[in-house]
């Protein structure tokens, strides 16, 4: 498929009106006149007109120019019939996974899906029976709970351990929670919302448990490209052939390149039986067709978005440093849980003295900031909120200043 090459060479810097060099990620794009859920919901549904949204996981940056250009070219064609996923899309994904993650994937292992949440909702019925217990490491991305409960399965929680600074897996607890061979574990790696990029040793031990106790694993690796200095994402299925044989991996360019509204992701399994079961269930649910713009955006992002991502990562990491310094120095009562990856992080607000149930309202109505309430990810996060810092630094600064004023004037 013709998705490139990038006619707009990506430049890691640009000039502002005063002729100084700034990052392209400093550009503030007005999203309020679009259909953006992130911006419309707090302002128009919750009626806080000037709210800064820092909740749902998309970023306020323009997608890579190569993606925008490919979509524009496709729109210019003018005919938008049912698509068939082209071989070039698979090739772009395989090349990306090999280049960025050292993971050699074959074309026959990949099934395109409209999204990871959709995929979870057909993988669960494909791989388990009603009443089965499915293990998740809580707190965790809330649709994991829904994908289990929507289909009459049981959530089996294996809580992460928190020492006040960072989260760890509790693998002894996880082993104790295993009920039967063939049980499903849904792994979040890197982990949303705690921001951990699991170390190789942690995943190796989990992999050994999975093989010895015959677990099936869905490894949601949607945040795998967003990893900060000193950390390395280990593909779970790449640990060993035995681990690969029982693992279904979910990936997408959506978080990496800020194109989640294009609704196109991929499920990867080297075990043909697992993949067949999943594809049958996807077809039963009516998810067997792709989406024209999603296909074009997916391929263009993986084929041409790399320089953009390489510029984004230091920008996001500088946002992490900015929040850490600001919160530690200027916002008493809040602790920032520094993330190792993702553009999401926890603010531990338990020392603010605000009832957990009133916390998100306090931030929305007193500071004009809309966060994700920690409790939605699990009861472990009562008293926390999740901040989405995938935005220009100027907006981040304004948000933190608003929080500082709200906290100090209580």
Ligand X SMILES: Cc1ncc(COP(=O)(O)O)c(C=O)c1O
15 forms beta bridges with 21
Q: 3-state DSSP call for residue 365?
A: helix
Cβ 328 to ligand X, closest distance in Å?
Answer: 26
Q: Does 137 bind ligand X (CB under 6 A)?
A: no
The CA distance from 408 to 316, in Å, is 27
With binding defined as CB under 6 A, does residue 226 bind ligand X? no
Q: Which is nearer to ligand X, 115 or 139 (CB)?
A: 115
Q: Report the alpha-carbon distance of residue 346 to residue 252 in Å, rounded.
A: 23
- Residues with Cβ within 8 Å of 361's Cβ and at least 6 positions away in sequence, in order, are none
Q: Contact region for ligand X (CB under 6 A) — 30-38, 112-120, 125-133, 358-366?
A: 112-120
The answer to whether 387 contacts ligand X (rule: CB under 6 A) is no
Name the minimum Å distance from CB 258 to ligand X: 12
Region from 63-71, 83-91, 164-172, 252-260 binding ligand X, contact rule CB under 6 A: 252-260
- Choose one: 16-24, 111-119, 204-212, 356-364; the region binding ligand X (CB under 6 A): 111-119
Supply the minimum distance, in Å, between the C-beta of residue 171 and ligand X: 20
**Judged by CB under 6 A, which of 24, 53, 64, 115 binds ligand X?**
115
Answer yes or no whether residue 188 interacts with ligand X by CB under 6 A: yes
Peptide bond connecting 253 to the previous residue in cis, omega within 30 degrees of 0: no
Number of residues that bind ligand X (CB under 6 A): 13
- Closer Cβ to ligand X, 222 or 403, answer by number: 222
* CA R_g for the chain: 21
- CA separation, residue 345 to residues 339, 340, 382 (Å): 6, 9, 15
Give the residue closest to ligand X by C-beta.
Answer: 115
Among 192, 219, 256, 360, binds ligand X (CB under 6 A): 192
3-state secondary structure of 261: helix
Check residue 370 for interaction with ligand X (CB under 6 A): no
Residue 316 phi/psi, 5° resolution? -65, -40
323: three-class secondary structure by DSSP: helix
* CB within 8 Å of 358: residues ≥ 6 apart: none
Stretch that binds ligand X, among 84-92, 115-123, 171-179, 366-374 (CB under 6 A): 115-123
Q: Which residues, in sequence order, are CB contacts of 279 under 8 Å at separation 6+?
A: 111
Q: Which residues bind ligand X (CB under 6 A)?
A: 57, 115-117, 141, 188, 192, 220, 222, 252, 254, 260, 265
């Amino acid at each position: 498929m013709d998705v490139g090459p990038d006619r707009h060479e990506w430049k890691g810097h640009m000039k502002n009106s005063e002729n100084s060099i700034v990052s392209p990620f400093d550009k503030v794009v007005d999203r309020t006149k679009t259909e953006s859920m992130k911006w419309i919901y707090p302002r128009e549904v919750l009626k806080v007109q000037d709210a800064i949204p820092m909740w749902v996981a998309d970023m306020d940056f323009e997608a890579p120019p190569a993606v925008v250009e490919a979509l524009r070219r496709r729109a210019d064609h003018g005919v938008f019939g049912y698509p068939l996923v082209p071989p070039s899309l698979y090739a772009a994904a395989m090349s990306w996974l090999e280049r960025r993650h050292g993971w050699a994937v074959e074309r026959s292992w990949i099934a395109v899906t409209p999204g990871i949440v959709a995929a979870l909702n057909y993988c669960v019925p494909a791989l388990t029976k009603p009443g089965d217990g499915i293990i998740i490491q809580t707190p965790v991305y809330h649709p994991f709970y829904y994908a289990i409960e929507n289909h009459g399965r049981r959530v089996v929680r294996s809580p992460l351990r928190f020492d006040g600074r960072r989260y760890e897996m509790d693998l002894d607890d996880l082993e104790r929670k295993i009920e039967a061979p063939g049980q499903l574990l849904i792994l979040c790696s890197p982990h949303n919302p705690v921001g951990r990029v699991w170390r190789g040793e942690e995943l190796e031990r989990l992999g050994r448990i999975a093989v010895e106790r015959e677990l099936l694993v869905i490894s949601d690796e949607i945040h795998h490209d967003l990893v900060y200095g000193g950390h390395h994402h280990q593909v779970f299925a790449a640990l060993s052939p035995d681990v690969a044989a029982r693992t279904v991996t979910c990936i997408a360019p959506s978080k990496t390149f800020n194109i989640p509204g294009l609704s196109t992701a991929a499920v990867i399994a080297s075990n043909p039986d697992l993949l067949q079961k999943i594809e049958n269930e996807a077809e039963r649910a009516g998810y067997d067709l792709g989406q024209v713009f999603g296909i074009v955006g997916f391929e263009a992002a993986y084929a041409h978005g790399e320089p953009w991502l390489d510029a984004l990562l230091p920008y996001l990491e500088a946002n992490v440093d900015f929040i850490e310094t600001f919160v530690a120095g200027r916002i008493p009562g809040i602790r920032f849980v520094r993330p190792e990856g993702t553009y999401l992080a926890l603010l531990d607000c338990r020392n603010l003295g605000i009832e957990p149930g009133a916390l998100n309202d306090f931030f929305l109505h007193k500071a004009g900031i809309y966060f994700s309430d920690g409790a939605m990810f699990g009861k472990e996060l009562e008293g926390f909120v999740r901040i989405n810092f995938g935005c220009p630094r100027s907006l981040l600064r304004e948000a933190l200043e608003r929080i500082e004023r709200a906290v100090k004037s209580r």
